[in-house]
Chains A and B, each alone.
Chain A
Amino acid sequence: MESASESENDASSEILSEDESSNELESDVETDSSDETTEEKPPRRPLISDKVAGTRTKQMSLQELIQMRDRIGTKQFNEQVLKTEKNTKKKFKQADFKRENKNRPQELSSKARVPKIREIIHVPREQRTNRDPRFDNLCGTEYDEELFDKRYSFLENIREREMKSLKQQLVKNKSKASDDQGKLKYLITRMEQQNSAKKDRMAKREALRQWKKEERTKVEQGIKKPFFLKKSDKKKMLMQMQYEQRKEKGTLNKLEARKEKKKKSKESRIMPYQRRTTAT
Chain B
Amino acid sequence: MRNQPCLKTIVMVLLRTKKRTSAGNDFSQVEQQKAPKRKLKEFDDEISSGSEDGDLPPPVKDLPDSSDEDETAQEKKMRLTKKYLEQLQTVHAKDDSDNEKDVVGDILKEDVLEKAGRLQRKIADLCVQPSEDNITRLRGHKLSVTCLAVSASKGVLFTASKDCSINKWCLNTHKKLFTVKGTKPKPNQKAHSAHVLSLALTTDFKFLASAGKDKIILVWNPDTMEYVHTFRGHRNTISGVAFRLNSTQLFSSSHDRTVKVWDVGIMSYVETLYGHQESVEACDSLTRERCVSCGGRDRSARIWKIVEESQLVYHGHTGSIDCIRYINEEYMISGSDDGSICIWSIMKKKPIVIIRDAHKDEKKNNWISSVAALPNSDLLATGSSNGLIRLWKCSDKFLQLLPLFDISACGFVNDLRFTDKGNHLIAAIGQEHKLGRWWSIKSARNSTMIIPLKQNI
- Chain A proximity mask over B9-43: 1 for CB below 8 Å, otherwise 0: 00000000000001111000110010000000000
Nearest CB on B from A97, distance (A): 6
List residues of chain A with CB within 8 A of the CB of B347.
103-105
Supposing A109-B309, A119-B277 touch, asked if A2 and B22 sit within 8 A by C-beta, the answer is yes
B232-281 CB contacts (< 8 Å) to partner A: 257, 261, 263, 266, 268-278
Supposing A105-B346, A105-B349, A111-B309 touch, asked if A69 and B268 sit within 8 A by C-beta, the answer is yes
**Chain A residue with minimal CB distance to B30?**
A10
Are A74 and B309 touching (Cβ within 8 A)? no
- Which of A41-49, A83-91, A238-246 contacts the other chain? A83-91
Are A76 and B23 touching (Cβ within 8 A)? no
List residues of chain A with CB within 8 A of the CB of B33.
7, 10
A112 to B314, CA, bound (A): 18
Are B348 and A121 touching (Cβ within 8 A)? no
**Chain A residue with minimal CB distance to B275?**
A110
Q: Is A249 in contact with chain B by the CB < 8 A criterion?
A: no
Q: Is A54 in contact with chain B by the CB < 8 A criterion?
A: no
Are B269 and A73 touching (Cβ within 8 A)? yes
List residues of chain A with CB within 8 A of the CB of B24.
87
A69-126 CB contacts (< 8 Å) to partner B: 69-71, 73-76, 87-89, 91, 93-94, 97, 103-114, 118-121
- Report which of A10, A70, A107, A114 forms a contact with B268, defined as CB distance below 8 A: A70
**Chain B residue with minimal CB distance to A69?**
B268
Q: Is A1 in contact with chain B by the CB < 8 A criterion?
A: yes
Supposing A91-B309, A105-B348 touch, asked if A110 and B270 sit within 8 A by C-beta, the answer is no
Are A70 and B310 touching (Cβ within 8 A)? no
B: number of interface residues (CB 8 Å): 43
Q: Is A194 in contact with chain B by the CB < 8 A criterion?
A: no
**Chain A residue with minimal CB distance to B313?**
A106
Are B268 and A75 touching (Cβ within 8 A)? no
**Chain A residue with minimal CB distance to B298?**
A120
Q: Is A22 in contact with chain B by the CB < 8 A criterion?
A: no
- Report which of B22, B263, B268, B311 forms a contact with A108, defined as CB distance below 8 A: B311
A159 to B22, CA, bound (A): 80
Are B348 and A73 touching (Cβ within 8 A)? no
List residues of chain B with CB within 8 A of the CB of A13.
266
Are A108 and B310 touching (Cβ within 8 A)? yes
Nearest CB on B from A4, distance (A): 10
B26-67 CB contacts (< 8 Å) to partner A: 29-30, 33, 62
Nearest CB on B from A30, distance (A): 29
A: number of interface residues (CB 8 Å): 40
List residues of chain B with CB within 8 A of the CB of A103.
347-350
- Report which of A16, A88, A94, A114 forms a contact with B277, defined as CB distance below 8 A: A114
List residues of chain B with CB within 8 A of the CB of A93.
309
Q: Is B299 in contact with chain A by the CB < 8 A criterion?
A: yes
B305-332 CB contacts (< 8 Å) to partner A: 305, 307-314
List residues of chain A with CB within 8 A of the CB of B266.
13, 16-17, 74
Q: Is A6 in contact with chain B by the CB < 8 A criterion?
A: yes
- Chain A proximity mask over B165-201: 1 for CB below 8 Å, otherwise 0: 0000000000000000000000000000000000000
Q: Is B304 in contact with chain A by the CB < 8 A criterion?
A: yes
B284-308 CB contacts (< 8 Å) to partner A: 297-299, 303-305, 307-308
- Report which of A3, A112, A120 forms a contact with B275, defined as CB distance below 8 A: A112
List residues of chain B with CB within 8 A of the CB of A1.
73
A91 to B23, CA, bound (A): 13
Nearest CB on A from B316, distance (A): 10
List residues of chain B with CB within 8 A of the CB of A94.
310
Are A74 and B22 touching (Cβ within 8 A)? no
- Report which of B263, B273, B298, B310 forms a contact with A97, defined as CB distance below 8 A: B310
**Chain B residue with minimal CB distance to A92?**
B308
List residues of chain A with CB within 8 A of the CB of B299.
121
- Report which of A9, A73, A104, A120 forms a contact with B272, defined as CB distance below 8 A: A73
Starting from the known contacts A107-B310, A114-B257, 15 additional A-B residue pairs (CB-CB under 8 Å) come to A2-B23, A69-B268, A97-B310, A103-B347, A105-B313, A106-B349, A108-B311, A110-B274, A110-B309, A111-B274, A111-B309, A113-B274, A114-B276, A114-B277, A118-B277
| Cross-chain pairs A/B with CB under 8 angstroms, 6 sampled | A75-B270, A87-B24, A87-B307, A110-B304, A112-B275, A120-B277
Going nearest first, the 3 A-B pairs with the smallest beta carbon separation are: A105-B349, A105-B312, A110-B273
Partner-A contacts on B (CB < 8 A) = 22-25, 29-30, 33, 62, 73, 257, 261, 263, 266, 268-278, 297-299, 303-305, 307-314, 346-350
